[in-house]
Amino acid sequence: MRFNISTFIFFFLTFALVSLAAPSKRSADVEGILTTLKTQVDSVLPSIKSLIASERVTEAALTPLVGELTTAVNAAKTSLSALSGPVTEDAEDVAEIIAGVISDIATALNGLPAVAGDINLGSILSSLDTALNQVLLGLDILLAGVLNLVSAPLVDVAGILSGLGLTLGGILGGLGL
């Protein structure tokens, strides 16, 4: 009888161990995602700056570059959406990273309206605007209050963003920028 009880217990313990979910590594996930985003954005921005400096901006040249930015931001959004549970990162650190990414994008695109000619920037930049909005909203869900922390560093580039039609889904207005 003793053998049967131990076999019975072993049988159920085996299933219990198999069914345990692997612990998610979260301690640096958000910052890691945003650091990857920054690296990807930083690799595209020199091409955009060079294109603007050449004053030969065409829709055919600009669209793929903005597409690369949008793809990077969407990848970050997808990665952030995959996270669940409490986040342990410092909201100030996260806000600093994402505000830096947004500021870098705004600064790189700053001269675009002056050299874009008849190019419809709204249609080219709208998907980037939407993606940035979704990342910010996702961050605010993971780290409550991060939007308020992002607003201070974005004060300097809010005018540039608005001039480009990047409202970040109305978040800038909601933050008083």
Looking at the domain assignment, is residue 74 inside a domain?
yes
Q: Does a structural domain hold residue 75?
A: yes
More reliable by pLDDT, 146 or 64 = 64
Examine the pLDDT at 84 and tell me if it is beyond 90.
no
Does residue 118 fall inside a structural domain? yes
Which tokens hold the place of 2? 């003793």
Q: What is the CA radius of gyration of the chain?
A: 22
Q: Is residue 18 part of a domain?
A: no
d(CA 157, CA 71): 22
As for how many domains the chain has, the answer is 1
Judge whether 98 and 77 are in contact, CB under 8 Å: no
Q: What is the mean pLDDT of the chain?
A: 82
Determine contact, residues 94/139, Cβ cutoff 8 Å: yes
Quick one: which of 86, 84, 76 has its CA closest to 31? 76
* Average pLDDT for 48-65: 96
* Residue 137 within a domain: yes
Residue 8 lies in a domain: no
Q: How far apart are CA 96 and CA 70, in angstroms?
A: 20
For 131, the 3-state DSSP assignment is helix
Q: Is 15 within a domain?
A: no
Range of the domain at 144: 29-174
Summarize pLDDT for 97-125 with one digit per residue, the tens. 999 999 999 999 999 999 998 999 999 99
22 located within any domain: no
Task: Work out the average pLDDT over 68-92.
Answer: 89
